[in-house]
Structure 1
């Protein structure tokens, strides 16, 4: 029975950091880049040199020097995910798993962001301050509770919220530096079913014959429990960057965002459909499935971003981005009971990834600017490590956007992004010994609107 305990918490450990990557839409892993509709319109190219965009408070504080007026900006992005699964499952004793394909796990979700930039004056006229609120990592996906993969994942709900406070100094008209302090809140809820019927009929010492004996009180899929892990934490990180303009037509920016380490504290609960299961475990002296407190580590990864902007002429600009995300910081995940030994330690084996994008914008007139872009994002996972909570793969994004300068003070932006995800396959065994084999298929559509006021 201790083996069953270890496998159960291993799956939940994977869930805490290895969330369903389809839910993060345009970025691999569980990264979200939607903190600027202007950036989205050009496939997130030019993020660290963006002109007239308050999102640089987080993306590169040094670029706040590009704003010469107090600027307040609000962005809202709707992420609409469509995904489906085609496959089968077998229990630990080889019988087929019942259930459907899980339905569409992704609901349309709104992701907000806000930023404000405050250029100082007088003796400090080369200093700019800023603050922003954004959601850099997260997802929300939910499968039908009786789907064929329920022993691997049902609900995955991960939220991070960043409050960033930044400052920039322009040493010359062509060179500026900036730093920011990030206060991040992380909140995680994950659930999956556990096939206690198989664990009990196999027994310890193992006797699989019980699972084929109709008279035995516990049978595969006959005594499920819903296992739910919840935890949250607050911690600190930082961001720093530089911006350099070697000529009037070229700008280069670089920003590093730190890894943020969280120690999530919360609870693990087991909702048993068969009331005899807890009593049976208690009689066997197994208490790993008791409801109670837990804690676990979660690291949101670092990023390094380089951007280039070339002003081809007064009305046309081309931007490019390259971003390294340090997913290898998720080397392993552990879950603990307070004061006890690790309940699970699972190698994660994610790789660092690169994101590349190319975009442009064209000023049709003083009132209207049009944007377009394309990007490619590598996946951090691989065929050997992929699970139903991690059906991520390489993805390509295509974007369109526009700005309407309503007046000298007010502008309104809109953007659309299409995300094409290479179909990933899974062949994995869950905490309950259930093997799931199949293919995922999905794409996402993103729609963003924002408004900016300068005074």
Structure 2
């Protein structure tokens, strides 16, 4: 997006449908991170070259140094509608052992667990104070959405009947243009997280798992902090290279839980690192690319099961390349 002096306001609306959502009762990194809601322009470009500023002002959510690419005063507003649909159908149910013999398993499918669709807002603003110094702000909802099984008595009800996770991230941002080929930036993240998770209690007596199985519910919220840092390099006109890092935000929920067997959850957010490239050729044609990697081994399932060991967490996600 070409920068313009004065105030530029862009309202972009995008609609996207996902094939999978938050697995009921467990907050896993690949299922509750809402990348598609960060920028309508970036969504259309598959976020390729985001760290190098290839997706317009939305790149500030990836690399704060890209704020120096927008002279004057600029702002951008994005609204993405996200609607998800998914279902689980057991194919090989496992019998549950008990002192009186094996119990017949529940073989019901979940029906749709997509929950309700949601509008996801994101905004970016930048203000150039001097020829080298910028300040700005980003807001968004990087994690969240809702999942609820149509059939509350399905085979996986002990893992989750419904899950609702919301975040609001506000990040004051600064950028400094060191010289014509190097810019650096940093952002301070303030993130609010709230959740409500419901699942059936485990079996303590034969036949206890069934339509009458009581719910155990976790509700809580928290405000915690993190940071983003980044740099952009322009070795030649039309070529930009960006590198960025966003810290994990360690979120400890405070609230209520209906089952005293469970412990207070500590939820660390993924630590993404990204590298982007942008090359302007033939006027406005811009091939862009960006590899990235997220460190998610610090994530624990929500709600935490008392019999699950701390080392039973998701492994690192494989690196990905967006073109």
Match of 2:205 in 1: 200
Distance 1:20 1:266, change over 3 A: same
Instruction: Tell whether the 8 Å contact from 1:334 to 1:346 is kept in structure 2 after alignment.
Output: no
- Partner of 2:65, secondary structure, is helix
Task: Please tell me whether residue 161 in structure 1 is matched to residue 163 in structure 2.
Answer: no
Task: Please tell me whether residue 31 in structure 1 is matched to residue 37 in structure 2.
Answer: no
- Partner of 1:328, secondary structure, is coil
Match of 1:101 in 2: 109
Deviations 1:140-170 (A, max 9, x none): 2111212222122111212221100110011
| Correspondence list, 1:15-414, <5 A | 18-19=26-27, 28-33=30-35, 34-50=37-53, 53-88=56-91, 89-90=93-94, 92-93=96-97, 94-98=102-106, 100-106=108-114, 107-120=116-129, 124-144=130-150, 145-195=152-202, 198-201=203-206, 221=210, 223-269=212-258, 288=260, 295-330=264-299, 345-353=309-317, 354-358=319-323
- Partner of 2:87, secondary structure, is strand
Distance 1:252 1:103, change over 3 A: same
More helix by share: 1
Segments of structure 2 that go 5 or more residues without pairing to the other structure are: 1-22
Query: Shift of residue 221 of structure 1?
Result: 2.6
Segments of structure 1 that go 5 or more residues without pairing to the other structure are: 1-13, 22-27, 202-210, 212-218, 271-287, 337-341, 359-455
Cα distance in 1, alignment partners of residues 157 and 292 from structure 2: 35
Query: Shift of residue 66 of structure 1?
Result: 0.7
CA RMSD across the alignment: 2.7
Query: Shift of residue 111 of structure 1?
Result: 1.2
Query: Shift of residue 262 of structure 1?
Result: 1.2
Cα distance in 1, alignment partners of residues 304 and 112 from structure 2: 29
Query: Greater relative contact order: 1 or 2 (C-alpha under 8 angstroms, separation 6 or more)?
Result: 1
Query: Shift of residue 30 of structure 1?
Result: 2.6
TM-score (norm 2): 0.82
Instruction: Tell whether the 8 Å contact from 1:20 to 1:141 is kept in structure 2 after alignment.
Output: no
More strand by share: 1
Query: Shift of residue 97 of structure 1?
Result: 3.5
Cα distance in 1, alignment partners of residues 209 and 253 from structure 2: 33
Distance 1:343 1:266, change over 3 A: farther
